[in-house]
Structure 1
Amino acid sequence: MKLILIHEMVRIALSAIWANKLRSFLTILGNVVAVSSIITLVSLIQGITEEVESVILSEVGADAFLVDRRGIMRSEEDLERTRNNPRITLADAEAIRRFASGVTAVMAEGRRSGEVRYRQHVLESVRIQGVTEEFIRFSTFNAEIGRLMTPAEVRRKRNVAVLGSDTADRLFGALDPIDRQVKIRGVPFRVIGVSRP
């Protein structure tokens, strides 16, 4: 009895589908498009998540984090709201190093823009970055020519600089920049390396 009932229901359903071909086709098409859209969206979100995670892990590592005065700026309002946040100083970095027992390394960096000069060649508004000795532990930065600064040079506050490849090209042209003296914001520095582009 039940088998006959199921058979009759299937026959009625198939005849309804056959009688309304366009409606049936559009219903199936709508379902296929909806399922495909969901699968595509989920795949896209997973891909973006994996890419962001890989960038974060390659830049700072899985066990590193960044403390910034302003955080992530998404709008002018964010910039205005954080304008009066207190500056983070080397003393703050030293306090973290001294009092945070679970922290194995602390790197501080400062960024500004300013003039970089080699003889008569002057570059305005160059991005300048000063770092503490732990920089090499945190960075994926490499020197294409010359070398990076050593922790001892940073500790002793030696005026050494690693230039970006674009800055080196614009200042020195075909000259070898290693061991030449540049002025960064008016202070003399010896060039020890040029970073990879």
Structure 2
Amino acid sequence: MWKITLENIKIAATSIKSQLLRTCITVFIIAIGIWALVGILSVVNALKHTIVADFSSMGANTFTLSQYDTAGKIAKNQSTQVENPPITYAQAQDFKTRYAYPFSSVSLSFTAASNIEVKNDYAKSDPEVSIVGCDENYLSNSGLQVEVGRGLTYTDSKNNHFVCVVGSDFSKNMFKGQSPINQQISVRGYKFKIIGILKEQGSTFGQNEDQRVFIPLQLARTIFNETNINYTLKVGVLQEGLLNEAIDQATIDFRASRNLAPANPSNFGIERSDDMIRSLEKQVDILNMAAWLIGMITILGSSIALMNIMLVSVTERTKEIGIRKSLGAKRKTIAQQFFTETLIIGQLGGLIGTMLGIGTAYLMTSLLHFTFAIPWEAISAAFITTLVVAVISGLYPAIKASKLDPVEALRYE
């Protein structure tokens, strides 16, 4: 059995070498289909990993009360929504007073400014920095980890200490290799001492999460005193099994804070930390289906091309087949020889296409700042697909070659 298999491989290799140009064209046609399939699946897989990584930073067991239900809007593909009033400071504070659910903590925050410039004694930043006013619970409820130093405390918030926690970009760009801890930065002319540096977050939909400065809430309200500030409430629940009940209680309490009558619908949104991930994963699954469709259409063309090439090969080698049969070769042996040749060509195309697809995906994810992961699913799909293509494309030519009449084959010119 093994001797016959090795002999078939040698014969296939000899045939491939004798028709090198045609073989290369066939391999490249197959590679294009696998390239498209693996490349698209890899990029979609990287997008999925990036979404999960980005939104897991919201905290594993938290929910957010905000002006709108963004996750619900995405899930329902809504382009418009009812205009909800912003969450005021009085309403947010009233909710914090009312809400006393066990094993939970409430944080209050707002985006004080975006795209502003921050300075220190050495340099100044690009006008891309966001200032977030928050309390002592915000970082933990948002899943943000302090890598060096410490976070904001109750004392910092209560006594309006001029301290801040900054994103990881500040340690790279503004302090010329020195540690930013206990150094000062200037925000709107006010000097803040850096007490903590966050772990690197990366970008979320083009927004750099590592260029944020977190300052005590009351100081942010004083420095960035604007009308109609929209506040955000985050609630962290220590025990996962209590999350649904905590959300129900938060809905009741915040409706009271908004002075809503029982008959009135809620004019705010509550988003679980995993709602956005589930909603976006649905969109990614649609892209995944589209990727498979595009890949399958391309591979269908590759299958037809491979079958035609092998039929031409059978026709050109008719006399050779007649000689082999006259020397005692069985139909099964002839079929195996052609089938082996088809498998080798198919796997060569699959291997080249897989390598091209992974390389292209890595380049694309680097340019788009996605989290690249080895696409084992796409590689497995490529291997199985090329095997199926080879079987389908090689079966008919192999059977046709095995059924040739040896006398007629010997007379073929």
TM-score, structure 2 as length reference: 0.31
Higher-RCO chain (CA-CA 8 Å, sequence separation at least 6): 2
Alpha-carbon distance between aligned partners in 2 of 1:166 and 1:87, rounded to the nearest angstrom = 31
Alpha-carbon contact 1:149-1:161 (below 8 Å) kept? yes
Higher helix share: 2
Alpha-carbon distance between aligned partners in 2 of 1:121 and 1:146, rounded to the nearest angstrom = 22
Partner of 2:59: 60
Partner of 2:90: 91
Alpha-carbon distance between aligned partners in 1 of 2:54 and 2:179, rounded to the nearest angstrom = 33
Partner of 1:23: none
Alpha-carbon contact 2:171-2:177 (below 8 Å) kept? no
Alpha-carbon distance between aligned partners in 2 of 1:76 and 1:171, rounded to the nearest angstrom = 42
Q: 1:101 to 1:179 in 2, by over 3 A?
A: closer
Indicate which of 138, 141, 148 corresponds to 2:141: 138
Task: Count how many residue pairs are aligned between Structure 1 and Structure 2.
Answer: 143
Q: 1:85 to 1:183 in 2, by over 3 A?
A: farther
Indicate which of 158, 170, 187 corresponds to 2:190: 187
Partner of 1:21: none
Alpha-carbon contact 1:97-1:105 (below 8 Å) kept? no
Query: SS at 1:67's partner residue?
Result: strand
Partner of 1:116: 118
Partner of 1:42: none
Structural RMSD (CA) = 3.1
Counterpart of 1:151, as a letter, is Y
Partner of 2:168: 165
Query: SS at 2:156's partner residue?
Result: helix
Q: 1:57 to 1:194 in 2, by over 3 A?
A: closer
Deviation at 1:126? Answer: 0.6
After superposition, where does 1:145-164 map in structure 2 within 5 Å? 145-164=148-167
Counterpart of 1:145, as a letter, is V
Deviation at 1:56? Answer: 6.7
Partner of 1:10: none
Gaps of 5+ in 2: 1-47, 201-413
TM-score, structure 1 as length reference: 0.59
Deviation at 1:185? Answer: 3.0
* Deviation per residue, 1:10-69 (Å, 9 max, x gap): xxxxxxxxxxxxxxxxxxxxxxxxxxxxxxxxxxxxxx8xx96x987773343x321122
Q: 1:58 to 1:161 in 2, by over 3 A?
A: closer
Counterpart of 2:181, as a letter, is I
Alpha-carbon distance between aligned partners in 2 of 1:57 and 1:168, rounded to the nearest angstrom = 24
Gaps of 5+ in 1: 1-47
